[in-house]
Amino acid sequence: VNRHTRAAFNFLTQKLRIPPQRIIVFGRSIGTGPATNLVSILSKSRKAAAALVLQSPYRSIKTLAKELVGAIANVIMDRFDNEADIVNCHSPTLIIHGRQDELIPVRHASVLYEKCPAEAKCLEIIEGVDHNAFHALDHIIRPVSTFLQKIGADRLPPLPITSHSVMKVLDEGQLLVPPDIPEPRGEGAAQSGFVVRALGSLLGKTSEWGLDNVGGDQRLQNHPNIGVNNRPGSGQAEARQ
């Protein structure tokens, strides 16, 4: 999953020519792991995303599993360790969590907020909300919009990207590009997942993209190498600069 996240980022920066500082990295629940890992890698490479937004994050998969099932969780490989990665995340960071979340308790978000070194960071605690009961407008769009205004991201000019320009890039035939961020040692090129194979089939590019007879372990042949808020449902975020 982390490799696919990096491949998507490389596609945006190399193929679509979007500067990293114009990309907002968003992750929800288990997806906060790949999102935090990506921003951590960017920081180590002296790059920065426009912002990192985490909805209902966990400290780590193993830590969460221990709380749910006890010591048996020690057998789990901790692939997503947000607590370790967040200390490298210097991009502006917004964390949103439901106060009544029983799957991932809100204390996980509090720990990540305290350990995040970003100068601009905000923890939004939504009252009366569990893991899945978020209202898209009141609990996600408005807090994110307010946070982006606080850090000045809303004043940036629009990117000259249209759906036509994206499809033109896709029609060129190579989704994977030389990496803008390196693969960590021990990890190889991204494998061709279901989404890539499905997209290739829809566009009639399976042969051109090297997806014919792709097995479970075959790689794509074309690869060339701010304060804490308790939010009852609306309100303003505080940014700490």
**130 included as an active-site residue:** no
At 208, the amino acid letter reads E
Q: What angle do CA 32, 51, 18 make, to 5 degrees?
A: 105
Reference 99, options 136, 134, 65; nearest CA is 134
Name the residue among 84, 109, 88, 78 with its Cα closest to residue 39.
Answer: 88
Query: Of 101, 108, 139, 223, which is the active-site residue?
Result: 101
Considering the candidates 4, 29, 110, 138, report the single residue annotated as catalytic.
29
Strand residue runs (E) in 84-174: 93-98, 121-126
Q: Decide if 214 contacts 187 (C-beta within 8 A).
A: no
* Length of the chain measured in residues: 241
φ, ψ dihedrals at 96, nearest 5°: -115, 130
**29 annotated active-site:** yes
Q: What angle do CA 149, 118, 109 make, to 5 degrees?
A: 90
The catalytic position among 4, 78, 110, 131 is: 131
198/208 Cα distance (integer angstroms)? 14
Using CA atoms, how far apart are residues 167 and 27, in angstroms rounded to an integer? 25
Q: Residues 6 or more apart from 157 whose CB is under 8 A from it?
A: none
Active site residue 131: yes
Question: How far, in Å, CA of 203 to CA of 86, rounded?
Answer: 38
Provide the annotated active-site residues: 29, 101, 131
